[in-house]
Structure 1
Amino acid sequence: MPSINPEQSARELMSSPVRTVRPETTIEEAQKILLRYGHSGLPIVDEGRLVGIVSRRDLDIAAYHGLKDTPVKRIMAAQVRTIEPSTPLSEIQGVMGTYDIGRLPVIDQGQLVGIVTRTDVLRKLQPVPETLRLERFAAPFQKIFAIASQAAEDRGWHLYLVGGAVRDLLLADPTAEVGLSDIDFVVDGFHQSAEVGAGVELAKCLQKIYPQARLEIHGKFQTAALLWHNDPELGSLWIDIATARTEFYLYPAANPEVEASSIRQDLYRRDFTVNALALRLTNPRAHELLDYFGGIADLRSHQIRVLHPNSFIEDPTRIYRAVRFAVRLGFEIEPQTEASIRHAIASGLYNRRDRPVPALQSRLRSELKYILQARYWKPAIQKLADLDALVCIHPSLKLDRELWRQLKWADRFQRFDLAIPHWQLLLEVLIAKLDDRATVAKTLQLPHDAIERLTKLPAIEAALQPSEKPSEMVQLLKPFDSETLALIAARGARSIRRSIYQYFNVWSQIKPPIDGSDLKTLGYKPGKQFKQILEELLVLTLDGKICDRTEAEQYLAEHYPLN
């Protein structure tokens, strides 16, 4: 392992912005803040001035003795040792070791600008592996990295490439050029603090250089996205840019509450260790890899490991993401992570629908889309079923042999020209298994036509009785759109499935040997009789009683003779 670099300074190690409380904050309120943000202590600030610091242990002891309503100023340590942004790491080490201090506030011109913890000192930032170089990305992406990092440096910020791009670079062939379809940037403070809108500011800077990109700004936290579609150099590319942030779930499956934080907290809020990797793009120490949670080791051991055990309780879509990444990358779900998944499912928390559950609505639909549109959807669905994770869709949904057969039949219908994407047909087959299928479709926020199709499905299936005559089956099937028929075929018995398959492939293409123009040529006058004649000819053609024009003309001569 590399030794700690003594040239590193507090500015490079500190977390910013700092979560603080006022002297009048109660011990109980301070405990809630520590729970929410996962900190082990809190600086206490009065009118912009640091006046003390309090640890989790001190708060817990005070609360144990019945002092929850007491203000923190009564138990805080008022003599606080501090450091400056330029304080070298070797000096920080010495202060912490000499005085047994777990955290040191960073003061710049009288203002609290950051905090360095014992963990920051102990954590040895790994040297960049030889394969992790920006030069391995295609030239157009290198250009974007250079422009974005320079813009961040000019504003006194750090910029990080995070998540999937870093993971995929580490997994890629070291000799191959790496392309990207999506990029995640995180902005963090350095010389200047990065406010909530920093991501938007950086995105607007990039758009001036790439005016062909579409800019989108999302939510009250002001995350920004730049989108290219079929660009000659970049192809179809999505870049997300956001200020480093932390999140807190008020209850299971809620949307998280998000606040500005540090890069470390931003990585901690992510799902799995292999996705919690960051590559610093700005100086000093550009190209330095941040791996706080053992992501590189998990990549090497080919396993998906969650960052904290309550992750799946907070956000059940992470169960689907765990399966998706495991199957896609050929990894295993780490045993303790799988145990956490099973515990979260067995808790029954996902069965509660007495309050909004965004994670089980559009967010779950998005994860299902990612899985069902992928070539590996079959092993992914089987793994979800093994984990009993289909209960996230509905408490009674199980992958039995019949449903698995239906999904495989639906998969075959992707060759036909349907108006819905293949993944949606598979999802509708899953939902159709349920009695309250329409409710589930609404919960997942499927399109209106899908909800209507699933609502009417039982009545349509009951009305479709197989017939030996192709013409009768065509009359039965003709009123329904192809999507409804594909859904019925996937679920139906062999006879109805064979009829629908024939309808798609053969019957719908059949036309009588004589059309309206031919009737005019033969001397028939247009009118109501035209329609009747053509319908009769189609029926006879479908049923094989008329095979060519000669037979059609003979039929006309016998049944509709000209005067």
Structure 2
Amino acid sequence: MDIILAHRQIDFDALASMVAAQKLYPNSVLVLDGKPNVYVQDFLALSKDQLRFSKAQEVDINDVSKVILVDTHELKRAGMLAEKITQTPGIEVEIYDHHPYSGPLKPGMFIDHVGSCATLLVEKLAGFGMPLSSFEATLIAIGIYDDTGSLLFDSTTVRDVRAVAYLLEQGANLSVIAEYLRKPLTEEQKELLQQLLDHGQTEFFEGVPVYLAYAETEEYVGGLALLAHRVGELEGADTWFLLVKMDQRVYIVGRSRGRGLAVNRLVEVFGGAGHERAASATIKDAELEAILKKLRFAIKSRATRPHLVRDMMSYPVKTVSPETRLGDVEKILLRYGHTGVPVTEDKTLVGIISRRDVEKAVRHGLQHAPVKGFMTRNVVTVDSDATLDEVQRVMVQNDIGRLPVVEDGDLVGIVSRSDVLRIVHGGAVPFETQLVRERSIAMRQDILELIGGLPSEEQGILEAVRDTAQEEECSVYLVGGFVRDLLLSFPTQDLDFVVEGNGGQFAQALMKRLPEGKLTQHVKFGTAHISFPNGSHLDVASTRVEYYSFPGALPQVEESCLRDDLFRRDFTINSMAICLNSEHFGELVDYYGGKRDLQQGKIRFLHNLSFIEDPTRMLRAVRFARRYNFKLAKETLEALFTAIETGVLLKLSVERFTEELFVIFQEDNYISMGQTLIRSGLFQGWFGEDYSWNFSEDDVQESVGWPLDQRWLSCISRINSEDIEKLCGRLSLNKTLRDETQIFLHLRAVLPKTQSISELDQLISKAPQGVIAVLAQDEHFRPRIMDCLESEKRIRMTLDGKKLLQMGVKEGPIIGEILEQVRRAWLEGKIHSTEEEREVAQQLIESMCRRR
């Protein structure tokens, strides 16, 4: 016999999961243990004919061969049968659950993070194409709606939505669903709710608000989950707990809005379970006061300080002095895209000027006037230790989009609406929080192990950088592609370091520990390059911020902090850093979610104007996506298409586009990248036409070892000569590629007209190998080229110019003519040995000498 069990406090999701499971296991028996919540009881009272349950005490454990456990992965929560099942050998247990589970998934365990357990079973039913009655579909839909807050809880996934859609197709009745989800409170529930509100208050733990409410009643009152929902509607805390004593038990119900604490971790202290946003526990023979005390201690030990302004603010802040001319302020606002700029005197904030006021003054011809006459002096500010809630309140009350952050009167940062929205709603580029820093420390050991697996030469360089940083008393970070590829276990040799300080000075100090290196300084860009005899190199730069005077321009560089330095980079996966200072060696700095995007396989830009500022980033997006088999994030893909449509590519210089394109041609996966360049419209946007590029999947394996020239010629091999000339006009080819392209076009034109094998040999023997290899790909040329190459194998020519001189031939053109005639004779099969070669040569000498 197969039986279906759920946890003892059966809710609608558990009931729905049991009914769905019985559809998958049609010979199974539904077993009820414990007391369902009051609404489930009402439903069961009306559905006795449709749902037949056995009681736990009626089950003979010796008859049970399989247990299907739903809505929990802990058998002990299934009631009185749990112990008997574990003690009886041979009983198979299958589990369907959606609650957090950290152990290994064993056969028969179907556990996944969705909003409702019933969703997992609906997916199975849909996969098998099993029909449902309207009653069954409605009940299962009630379970999903109940556990996902009518699909509004943060835990809801797209899979839950699809499951509901399937159930509606099967005849689920929305009016019935609404009736059971909107049950009015009973008189007992109303009294209990009033008690909870009277005995409830918001308490702060490490700055985190938690609403705690308690009540006591002699009789059992069901529906605590509904009461928790009602309390959440009335109170503003992100986390709240109800503690109710009744029937000699204390019941705990915890809820969180998603930004609060993980309530399942807290009720686990009392033997309870649930989700991060909804959990409960039941404690026998306990007193409310003792449970409240224990709960407060558990909350305090797990609470972390809320988001503070210092975590989300931008710094250093671009400021102007009171004497700065309005025309100069206008340029600064345009350059950095700010809507306003603070005005300071000796770091002290004295005012703020908005873009609107600047533009208005400039329109009246006041561009030479100083800022002090137009700035706002009564500036609303916040302290760096202010919480996210405080910032939101100040912004809303004062209708301000940018708040200066001050400490002891000095301006230390600025926080904007965008910063707040990233924290509240999540976004493409989340800023660093305390949690991010804690995660960096937690994964430090993993990074140290990855560093330990590097070649000894690279480890030696990192140690030298660490020791130099300590000597120079500055912060140094490993950044960019090396960090990305280290986390991907993808071999790379690009070592890039940034220094919060003077990068040039640091590089000079580093040379003392790397005496075999050669140092080259680039003062204008604040960078230094150190190359080594084995061909490897490293780059050192000061932290800097870049801005673009116009789309496609080379960046202008200014000093900044690490945060801004990483923000100037192209994509989140390239905007991570690893600290190399001794105390924090190996800690990951990830302000913008690069590690998350690596794990999710996403290429995501850091801001919406990224492709507009530097259109070459579009080509790099394609390169990284195809190199790592990643996808472009939705907003990044949309921005790429938008940038192409605006024609921003045409702002690029031919040299910059060519350079980025041929970086792609040197990638192993360049064929796939080329296909993407065509499909995305990037090629059409640059070249102005859709050419017949040859990025053929048939060449993927063979082309990995091809040199750059052969790859290039293969890709243009299907384009007609006139179009190739136009195409090359949009590129800055080096001399080698330019010459080989011309040779390719010439041979492709004359090969069809070439008759004899010797004429063909003359053409092939003088052409670069890459050109011949590409021509041989063409089925029209392949047979003749292969015949010619086979004929060449017959040539065992020993004659050279020196031997001809020994045979009495005078220096001059005649030597080349004789050698060419002898080679032709070998090709045509007229010579088969060294003796015959000498005879033919002698005849040619005599014949040519007579003519002369």
**TM-score normalised by length of structure 1:** 0.75
Q: How many residues align?
A: 516
Task: Compute the displacement of 1:224 (Å).
Answer: 1.1
Q: What SS class does the counterpart of residue 340 from structure 1 fall into?
A: helix
C-alpha distance 132-505 of structure 1, shift in aligned 2 (>3 A): farther
Q: What SS class does the counterpart of residue 781 from structure 2 fall into?
A: helix
Larger mean CA deviation between 137-146 and 371-380 belongs to: 137-146
Alignment partner of 1:383 out of 676, 685, 693: 676
Residue 478 of structure 2 corresponds to which residue in structure 1?
A: 161
1:60 aligns with 2:60: no
User: What letter corresponds to residue 373 of structure 1 in structure 2?
Assistant: Q
Distance in structure 2 (CA, Å) of the matches to 1:92 and 1:276:
27
1:183 aligns with 2:495: yes
Distance in structure 2 (CA, Å) of the matches to 1:163 and 1:559:
67
Residue 548 of structure 1 corresponds to which residue in structure 2?
A: 833
Residue 688 of structure 2 corresponds to which residue in structure 1?
A: 395
Counting only pairs closer than 5 Å after superposition, residues 130-145 of structure 1 correspond to structure 2 as: 130=443, 132-138=446-452, 140-145=457-462
C-alpha distance 445-296 of structure 1, shift in aligned 2 (>3 A): same
Q: What SS class does the counterpart of residue 687 from structure 2 fall into?
A: coil
Deviations 1:390-444 (A, max 9, x none): 24652225344xx346x977996897xxxxx812332355567474756765764
Task: Compute the displacement of 1:223 (Å).
Answer: 0.8
User: What letter corresponds to residue 252 of structure 1 in structure 2?
Assistant: P
1:526 aligns with 2:826: no
Deviations 1:48-95 (A, max 9, x none): 45352326xx43367469778475324534356889xxx9x6478899
Task: Compute the displacement of 1:201 (Å).
Answer: 1.0
Identity rate, percent? 28
Question: Per chain length, whose mean CA-contact separation is higher, i.e. which structure has more relative contact order (CA < 8 Å, sep 6+)?
Answer: 1
Task: Compute the displacement of 1:471 (Å).
Answer: 1.4
Distance in structure 2 (CA, Å) of the matches to 1:228 and 1:286:
25
1:124 aligns with 2:445: no
User: What letter corresponds to residue 405 of structure 2 in structure 1?
Assistant: L
1:494 aligns with 2:795: no
Residue 50 of structure 1 corresponds to which residue in structure 2?
A: 348
Q: Are 2:647 and 2:685, in contact at CA under 8 Å, matched by a contact in 1?
A: no
User: What letter corresponds to residue 311 of structure 1 in structure 2?
Assistant: S
Distance in structure 1 (CA, Å) of the matches to 2:309 and 2:643:
42
Task: Compute the displacement of 1:40 (Å).
Answer: 5.5
Q: Are 1:511 and 1:538, in contact at CA under 8 Å, matched by a contact in 2?
A: no
1:225 aligns with 2:518: no
Q: Are 1:513 and 1:548, in contact at CA under 8 Å, matched by a contact in 2?
A: no
1:170 aligns with 2:487: yes
Q: Are 2:333 and 2:355, in contact at CA under 8 Å, matched by a contact in 1?
A: no
Q: Are 1:410 and 1:487, in contact at CA under 8 Å, matched by a contact in 2?
A: no
Task: Compute the displacement of 1:389 (Å).
Answer: 1.5
Task: Compute the displacement of 1:245 (Å).
Answer: 1.5
Task: Compute the displacement of 1:102 (Å).
Answer: 2.3
Task: Compute the displacement of 1:294 (Å).
Answer: 2.2
Residue 5 of structure 2 corresponds to which residue in structure 1?
A: none
User: What letter corresponds to residue 356 of structure 2 in structure 1?
Assistant: D
Task: Compute the displacement of 1:209 (Å).
Answer: 0.8
Distance in structure 1 (CA, Å) of the matches to 2:523 and 2:794:
50
Larger mean CA deviation between 333-342 and 479-488 belongs to: 479-488
Q: What SS class does the counterpart of residue 516 from structure 2 fall into?
A: coil
Task: Compute the displacement of 1:511 (Å).
Answer: 3.8
User: What letter corresponds to residue 638 of structure 2 in structure 1?
Assistant: A
Task: Compute the displacement of 1:19 (Å).
Answer: 1.7
Q: What SS class does the counterpart of residue 524 from structure 2 fall into?
A: coil
Distance in structure 1 (CA, Å) of the matches to 2:703 and 2:306:
63
User: What letter corresponds to residue 181 of structure 1 in structure 2?
Assistant: Q
1:446 aligns with 2:733: yes
User: What letter corresponds to residue 203 of structure 1 in structure 2?
Assistant: A
Residue 6 of structure 2 corresponds to which residue in structure 1?
A: none
Q: What SS class does the counterpart of residue 657 from structure 2 fall into?
A: helix
Q: Are 2:343 and 2:352, in contact at CA under 8 Å, matched by a contact in 1?
A: yes
Q: Are 1:223 and 1:241, in contact at CA under 8 Å, matched by a contact in 2?
A: yes
Residue 343 of structure 1 corresponds to which residue in structure 2?
A: 642
User: What letter corresponds to residue 570 of structure 2 in structure 1?
Assistant: D
RMSD, aligned α-carbons? 4.5
Residue 418 of structure 1 corresponds to which residue in structure 2?
A: none
Deviations 1:87-113 (A, max 9, x none): 9x6478899689668222457xx9x68
Q: Are 2:649 and 2:686, in contact at CA under 8 Å, matched by a contact in 1?
A: no
Task: Compute the displacement of 1:497 (Å).
Answer: 4.1
1:271 aligns with 2:570: yes
User: What letter corresponds to residue 124 of structure 1 in structure 2?
Assistant: T
Distance in structure 1 (CA, Å) of the matches to 2:843 and 2:621:
70
Q: What SS class does the counterpart of residue 255 from structure 1 fall into?
A: coil
Counting only pairs closer than 5 Å after superposition, residues 341-490 of structure 1 correspond to structure 2 as: 341-351=640-650, 357-358=652-653, 360-361=654-655, 363-391=656-684, 394-400=687-693, 403-404=694-695, 422-430=707-715, 433=719, 435=722, 441=728, 444-455=731-742, 458-486=745-773, 489=776
Task: Compute the displacement of 1:542 (Å).
Answer: 0.5
Counting only pairs closer than 5 Å after superposition, residues 206-245 of structure 1 correspond to structure 2 as: 206-218=510-522, 220-230=524-534, 237-245=536-544
1:102 aligns with 2:389: no
Alignment partner of 1:299 out of 577, 598, 601: 598
Q: Are 1:312 and 1:344, in contact at CA under 8 Å, matched by a contact in 2?
A: yes
Q: Are 1:160 and 1:279, in contact at CA under 8 Å, matched by a contact in 2?
A: yes
User: What letter corresponds to residue 184 of structure 1 in structure 2?
Assistant: D
Task: Compute the displacement of 1:137 (Å).
Answer: 0.6
Task: Compute the displacement of 1:384 (Å).
Answer: 1.3
User: What letter corresponds to residue 258 of structure 1 in structure 2?
Assistant: V
Distance in structure 2 (CA, Å) of the matches to 1:410 and 1:288:
39
Distance in structure 1 (CA, Å) of the matches to 2:773 and 2:313:
58
User: What letter corresponds to residue 217 of structure 1 in structure 2?
Assistant: Q
Deviations 1:446-467 (A, max 9, x none): 3224334445654554334454
Alignment partner of 1:22 out of 311, 321, 327: 321
Q: Are 1:277 and 1:295, in contact at CA under 8 Å, matched by a contact in 2?
A: yes
Residue 233 of structure 1 corresponds to which residue in structure 2?
A: none
C-alpha distance 437-217 of structure 1, shift in aligned 2 (>3 A): farther
Distance in structure 2 (CA, Å) of the matches to 1:98 and 1:393:
48
Q: Are 1:385 and 1:398, in contact at CA under 8 Å, matched by a contact in 2?
A: no
Distance in structure 1 (CA, Å) of the matches to 2:763 and 2:803:
28
Residue 148 of structure 1 corresponds to which residue in structure 2?
A: 465
